[in-house]
Amino acid sequence: MNMDYIFDSYRRVCYHTNWSQYRTSTGKFMPTDIGPDFCTHLIYSFAKLQGNKLHSFEWNDESTPWMKGMYAKFNELKTQNPNLKTLIAVGGWTLGSKPFSHMSATDADRREFARTSVAFLRNHDFDGLDIDWEYPTKRSGSTTADKRNYIELLKILKQEFDAETKTTGKPKLILSAAVPAGKSNIDSGYNIPEMVKYLEMVNLMTYDLHGSWETKTGHNSGLFKHTGETGDAASMNLDWAANYWVKGGMPASMINVGLAMYGRGFTLRNPGSHGLESPSRSPSDAGPFTGEKGFMAYYEICELLQTGGTRHYLADQMVPYVVKGSQWIGYEDVDSIRTKVKYIKQHGFGGTMIWALDLDDFHGNCGQGKFPLINAINDELKRSGGPVIQPVQQSTPLVNSQTTTQHLTTTSTTIKPKVINTTKGVSKEAAVINGGGCIY
């Protein structure tokens, strides 16, 4: 079997954040730090809406006569990998819903956006557009008409992309969308069968499923539900969300399943009780480079592990968390990422998506080489066979058990943990969030 052919059949979508350039010291990340062969699709985040037009967000996104802009540096990666496709994302959590709701409200406004977007993409050498509307019908400034208008917007964008290709002979621009994992957001804002007609792919944000906006610990990106969960709580996991989109009419082959290069954390009320759903009193401390409470890049989590943090493993959700004093952070590591990629392959999904490149260990400070999580994704996509990834079946509840202290070292790329778990229920879907650009 030609494993290179199998590997090439998967999309590997990677988001790049234009604010990571402002981090200090080793946290600073630039387009030149991106390996041109890491991904099949690179998405630059974010552009904003100015009226009915795409507009750059940062002062140095666009080139000037005296300065090469970030767009140009980003798209130069295609000179090293001619097969690479680059897109720009418009929206994100910070932009919210109101600008999209306003722009998509009339046919004339939608057409102005679509027409001018084609020119914007071509002028800056992007190969496509990623619509990251968070979320139709939800949040301030939204209306109940957003669900219909979202589809009309996609329809007109596809029409304009098709027409431009017919007129110019250029390869057709790619149209994709970032979409939520939470049931209420999906049901209220997305007509899935209609979306299939206009999009080339969707990037499913299967992370930010729990976080410090809640009052007890929960994992950001569990693969399966936690033992004993029912109702809304049982839907807050990758397996449920990905399959809900498929059941709703989205072909699995169109879905790029999201993988987090970061963790979300809590400050425990009682550091002596640190199992899943332990009471928390506030977000975890901000990472030294990312600077956001309740959020840490993988390379910042590695530092916790290297300086006395203890790694624990949630066997039913197949993900780790680290505890150091009162700090509790659920995250992904090489082992959990490999498990998820196996799941993605076994269920016939079209590929992987990561948020975000700058949050992996791009300097190799974890002792696992540079970009260990991205390399784990790519390596696992090349593999064949392996056991089928299924939820843990348990006839009796697991109970809390203290793991032995395990530190990340330079001599091992994985950590073999003992199991820790709980049997409590999980809070209902939170209504909020984010700092990097995605929510369920």
**Distance, CA of 246 to CA of 297 (rounded, Å):** 30
Reported as a single tens digit per residue, the pLDDT across 147-180 is 999 999 999 999 999 999 999 999 999 999 999 9
pLDDT for residue 228: 84
**Cα end-to-end span (Å), the chain:** 37
Q: pLDDT category, 4, cuts 50, 70, 90?
A: low
Q: pLDDT category, 437, cuts 50, 70, 90?
A: very low
Q: Are 251 and 196 in contact (CB under 8 A)?
A: yes
Q: Which helix (H) or strand (E) holds 320?
A: strand 319-324
Answer whether CATH 3.20.20.70 is correct for domain 3-261+333-382.
no
Task: Just list the catalytic residues.
Answer: 134
Q: Which positions ≥6 away from 438 have C-beta within 8 Å?
A: 92, 93, 132, 134, 178, 205, 207, 208, 258, 355
Reported as a single tens digit per residue, the pLDDT across 9-38 is 999 999 999 999 999 999 999 999 999 999
Give 418 or 338, the one with higher predicted confidence.
338
Q: pLDDT category, 440, cuts 50, 70, 90?
A: low
Q: CA dist 431 to 53, 91, 105, Å?
A: 29, 19, 25
DSSP designation for 420: B
Reported pTM: 0.90
Reported as a single tens digit per residue, the pLDDT across 172-208 is 999 999 999 999 999 999 999 999 999 999 999 999 9
Candidates 293, 306, 301, 237; CA nearest to 267 is 293
Q: Is the peptide bond before 120 cis (omega within 30 degrees of 0)?
A: no
Q: Where are the beta strands (DSSP E) in 82-208?
A: 85-91, 128-132, 174-179, 201-204
Q: Which position has the token pair 């001599």?
A: 411
78-95 CB burial, b ≥16 within 10 A, e <16: beeeeebbbbbbbbbbeb
Candidates 350, 356, 412; CA nearest to 381 is 350
**Distance, CA of 244 to CA of 234 (rounded, Å):** 12
Going from N- to C-terminal start, the domains of the chain cover 3-261+333-382
Reported as a single tens digit per residue, the pLDDT across 347-383 is 999 999 999 999 999 999 999 999 999 999 999 999 9
Q: Would you say residue 413 has pLDDT above 60?
A: no
